[in-house]
Amino acid sequence: MDAFRQAMHLLFTLDPELLQILGVTMRMSFFSTTISCLIGLPLGTLLGTHSFRGKAFLKKLLHTLMGLPPVVAGLLVYALFTHYGPFGSLHLLFTVRVMVIAQCLLITPVVTGLCASYMEQSAAGILETARGMGLPSGRVLLLCLTESRTSLLSVVLSAFGRSIAEVGAVSIVGGNIQWKTRVMTTAILLETNKGNFSFALALGCILLLIAFVVNVAASWIVKEARYD
Amino acid sequence: MIEVTGLHKQYGTRTVLDVPHLSVERGACVALIGANGSGKTTLLRILAGQLKPTSGTFSTPQPVLYLPQRCYAFRGTVLQNVLIGTKNKREDALSLLERMELAPLLQKEARSLSGGELQRLAFCRLMLRDCTLLLLDEPTSACDSHAAELLLQELQRYRAAQGCTVLLSTHSRAVAAQVADRCLLLANGRASALRSEAGTQCEFSFD
Ligand SMILES: Nc1ncnc2c1ncn2[C@@H]1O[C@H](COP(=O)(O)OP(=O)(O)OP(=O)(O)O)[C@@H](O)[C@H]1O
Ligand SMILES: [Mg+2]
């Protein structure tokens, strides 16, 4: 209860550091989710609606990547972007950008895999009809996506959920730098380690609140059209 | 013109389609009849390029339009459904829907249509596009006799305009007699005795 009061206090006094952390968190999660979905949804639809050689292998690979531990993804990206790494000259380490890159590595397989299995189960009727109408394959793909948008919303939301809740990759490549790359989860971790339990809990409450607001907003955006 | 040789479809070890030879001349309208599970849908889907045969070859003129047995309504209104992927067809669509007596439903959400209304809508979606081969899987199965009449009239009109070849499956002898030049009886599937006897296929004229 104390934590909740503290959370409200932090929010309503517009604590500048909290606002900054919130900003970074939202920016990171927004871009990670958007990029992962822009890649993963079309890819998943393709995978779920076409059969080709090596598909079974590709799906196994995808399922492995879906279970990729965040710290491993973080390490991998760290190795790529560290000063002497292949992309070291870009000087991206410990920036929000590289955090987004690491998260995309984590989330894109999840989006692709979930989307593919959804399409495999339920896109048959759409496909048969759209192809039967002689529509070009790009158009068929687009129809599959738009027709399933309410179901795909939960895929997008779980991507967002994974992004905003993720701490391992983000703390490795972001470094939890105050005023720069600190996000909600890394802040919570830090405060907990410092023994500031109620403050950490307050941050946790706010994180939960954000997740709730995003869910409500998203389901409002793709609200089902009511029949006449 | 459709040419089929040695077409064979198996699921596991079960043969569901076995057509040694079939040819349909250009511009003809052939009705495919046969009991449930005799392979009508399987044959149509193969010809539509939506199902791979286990073996055999076939050639079909392009482009092909195919009406699946189970109709699907896309999101949006009836008019939007008909216009998907077309350009400058609004006028044509309006008069087509008028002829098919769907005009009162123009702005209705397509997914709220009744079975017969949806079947007519799915048919209309094809009638706005050009093709040289039209494959219809039980196009009147959900229609009442009046709606079926409208649909067949529209089909004749489309055939006259396009000069396309038509292959349609049906359980109604009346429908077959009304539009088809000839019938093709598929009799395989369940009874393996029938399959080996008749080679799954017998043709007869309908006059
Ligand atoms: N994916 C599948 N796996 C296994 N068997 C299948 C599959 N699809 C179809 N079959 C079988 O193939 C046979 C032929 O099916 P098909 O749909 O072609 O019949 P049909 O002549 O169209 O029947 P109906 O008049 O009921 O529409 C059926 O016995 C069916 O059970
Ligand atoms: Mg059938």
Residues from chain A contacting residue B129 (CB–CB below 8 Å): 133-134
- Scanning the structure block, which residue is given the tokens 């991998």? A76
Does an H or E element contain B8, and which? strand B2-11
Does an H or E element contain B202, and which? strand B201-205
pTM: 0.81
Distance CA A178, CA A183 (A): 9
What residues does B135 pair with on adjacent strands?
B66, B167
Distance CA A153, CA A157 (A): 6
CB A162 within 8 A of CB A107: yes
* Position B201 confidence tier, pLDDT thresholds 50, 70, 90: very low
Q: Which amino acid is at B77?
A: T
Tally of CB atoms within 10 A around B37: 13
pLDDT lower than 50: segments of chain A: 225, 227-228
CB A37 within 8 A of CB A156: yes
CB B148 within 8 A of CB B109: no
Structure tokens at B40: 């009508």
The HSE-up count of residue A215 (CA atoms within 13 Å, CB side) is 11
Residues with CB under 5 A from ligand 2 (ion): B 40-41, 69
- Flag if A125 and B85 touch (Cβ within 8 Å): no
Give the model confidence (pLDDT) of B76-115 as tens digits. Answer: 999 999 999 999 999 999 999 999 999 999 999 999 999 9
ipTM of the shown complex? 0.85
Q: What is the mean pLDDT of chain B?
A: 87
Give the model confidence (pLDDT) of B138-183 as tens digits. Answer: 999 999 999 999 999 999 999 999 999 999 999 998 898 889 988 8
Q: Please, what is the Cα angle at A156 between A152 and A157, to 5 degrees?
A: 115
CB B141 within 8 A of CB B123: no
Q: Is A135 on the interface with B (CB under 8 A)?
A: yes
* Minimum Cα–Cα distance from B73: chain A residue: A126
* Minimum Cα–Cα distance from A150: chain B residue: B75
- Scanning the structure block, which residue is given the tokens 């005023």? A179
| CATH superfamily entry for domain B2-71+130-193 | P-loop containing nucleotide triphosphate hydrolases (3.40.50.300)
Cβ–Cβ pairs < 8 A, chains A and B: 58
Counting ligands in written order, which one lies closest to the CA of residue B15?
A: 1
Instruction: Ligand 1: list residues with CB < 6 Å.
Output: B 11, 16, 34, 36-42, 69, 189
Burial B142-155 (b: 16+ CB within 10 A, else e): bbeeebbebbbebb
The nearest CA of chain A is from the CA of B76 a distance in Å of 9
pLDDT for the residue numbered B196: 27
Distance CA B121, CA B97 (A): 8
- Flag if B109 and A143 touch (Cβ within 8 Å): no
Query: Which pairing describes strands B2-11 and B55-59: parallel, antiparallel, or unpaired?
Result: antiparallel
- Flag if B66 and A225 touch (Cβ within 8 Å): no
CB A126 within 8 A of CB A49: no
Greater pLDDT, A191 or B192: A191
Structure tokens at B202: 């017998």
Give percent of chain B with pLDDT exceeding 70.
90
Beta-carbon contacts of A83 under 8 Å, excluding residues fewer than 6 positions away, are A93
Going along chain A from its start, the domains and CATH numbers come out as: 18-180 (1.10.3720.10)
Structure tokens at A97: 């950008």
- Flag if B129 and A134 touch (Cβ within 8 Å): yes
Per-domain boundaries in chain B = 2-71+130-193
Structure tokens at A9: 């206090």
Burial class (CB in 10 A: 0-12, 13-18, 19+), A109: buried
Question: What is the 3-state secondary structure of A79-121?
Answer: HHHCCCCCCHHHCCCCCHHHHHHHHHHHHHHHHHHHHHHHHHH
Helices (H) and strands (E) in chain B, counts: 7, 9
* Minimum Cα–Cα distance from B71: chain A residue: A129
Please give the full DSSP string across B147-200, using - where no structure is assigned.
HHHHHHHHHHHHHHHH--EEEEE-S-HHHHHHH-SEEEEE--SS-HHHHHHHTT
Distance CA A9, CA A199 (A): 11
pLDDT for the residue numbered B189: 38
- Nearest alpha carbon to residue A152 among A104, A103, A216, A218: A218
Distance CA B125, CA B143 (A): 16
pLDDT for the residue numbered A188: 94
pLDDT for the residue numbered B56: 92
